[in-house]
Amino acid sequence: MQFLNLTILFMLWVSPTVDDTRIVKWKEDRPLTWADFKGGPDYRAGAGSVIVWDTRYNYRVERRDTSYILTFTLDNVMYTDISWVMRDQMGDYLLGHEQTHFDINELFTRKLAAAFKDAVFTSNYKAEMDTIFRQNRADCGAMESKYDKETSHAGNHNMQYRWQLFVFLELQKLPKNY
């Protein structure tokens, strides 16, 4: 049976505070479980499950002479109350597909942290941050789309496993840096 997955890319400029009981932060030693998908299914979506994730970040600015030093905190989170699965679709295979979506966002959260750290900010730092963020999100969205297309939304098992390995290896190349 081919599973259809719909991923909502829910990304915000600087996220508002969210009750931590409604999120799961990405951790290497804490894979997702179906219990994390607490939202009600949308039967019109044509999907077996939906994961809603976000890269949240905040920053602090310190001015030194003519330089602007920015310190960032980032999180890759899943929103449990709006992520969902249809009961008859629950299985390890589809969960692995959703986990890989979350892992792809983790990869781009790390890339965003690296880009912020490498940037030289001026007094126009808000626009400069926005440019970096938007490019990162565009690149992440392109990879997420390619992943869903090549795996046929989890329907192509061979490509699904290839993608899982690819993302795992990419995460190993870029250790958590935030």
26 belongs to a structural domain: yes
Q: What is the pLDDT of residues 77-106, one digit of tens each?
A: 999 999 999 999 999 999 999 999 999 999
Residue 141 has pLDDT above 70, yes or no: yes
pLDDT attached to residue 95: 98
Q: Domain residues for 100?
A: 5-173
Residue 17 pLDDT grade (very low, low, confident, very high; cuts 50, 70, 90): low
Residue 58 pLDDT grade (very low, low, confident, very high; cuts 50, 70, 90): very high
Mean pLDDT for the chain overall: 90
166 belongs to a structural domain: yes
178 belongs to a structural domain: no
Mean pLDDT to the nearest integer, 139-149: 98
Please state, in angstroms and rounded to a whole number, the distance separating the CA atoms of residues 39 and 79: 9
If one counts the domains in the chain, the total is 1
Give the predicted TM-score (pTM) of the model.
Answer: 0.88
74 belongs to a structural domain: yes
DSSP H/E element including 78 = strand 67-79
Q: How many CB atoms lie within 10 A of CB 73?
A: 11
29 belongs to a structural domain: yes
